[in-house]
Amino acid sequence: MFTIKSMLTQDLFFLMNFEMTYKGVKKWFEDAGSPMNDIELFQALLFPEQLPEGKQFDLLNMVVDRYENIFFQNNRIYENNADDEINDTRDPMHQLLLQVLRDRIVHGKDDAMITLGLALMKDKQASEPLYKALHSYFDTI
């Protein structure tokens, strides 16, 4: 049975997959006066139901109103600006979020956390880490 919160997770997955990049969403929150560090934003997008109710409402509004919102219009991914930093769909953080969101939708929260944990463990051992901003993710929960 789908709930509003599970629908929000699916909507966020489609938003991140087809319409906005991770950096675009981060900039959008900053422009809206609600800046978040990488760990806060990653958690908010992956587990929106764990946000305080007011933040859940803000996030739901972002998803529901995305076609009318000026921030979305400024950050939409167009072919002619796909190479800029904000709209780069190949950005490692964006790709990791998509992978973990997909695992959450298909396999559930526990598998998503395992996927994230394994990715971060591997990244911590890399000579050039891609997700350094998330290395302390599990210290925050």
Model confidence pLDDT, tens digit, residues 70-93: 454 555 555 555 567 777 778 899
Taking alpha carbons only, the member of 8, 52, 36 closest to residue 93 is 36
Q: What token pair was written down for 75?
A: 């950050």
- Tens-place pLDDT, residues 77-134: 555 555 677 777 788 998 999 899 888 888 889 999 999 999 999 999 999 999 999 9
pLDDT of residue 125: 97
CA within 13 Å, CB half, 118: 9
* H/E segment holding residue 140: none
Q: Which residue shows structure tokens 């996927």?
A: 115
What average pLDDT does the chain have? 78
The two three-digit tokens of residue 74, written as one number: 């400024």
State whether the Cα torsion 52-23-80-33 is positive or negative. positive
Domain ranges of the chain: 4-140
Instruction: Find the Cα–Cα–Cα–Cα dihedral 80, 86, 87, 91, rounded to 10°.
Output: 130
Q: How crowded is residue 74: how many other Cβ atoms within 10 Å of its Cβ?
A: 12
- Distance from CA of residue 129 to its chain's centroid? 19
Helices vs strands, H then E, count in the chain: 7, 0
Using CA atoms, how far apart are residues 53 and 67, in angstroms rounded to an integer? 23
Q: Express as a percent the part of the chain with pLDDT over 90.
A: 26
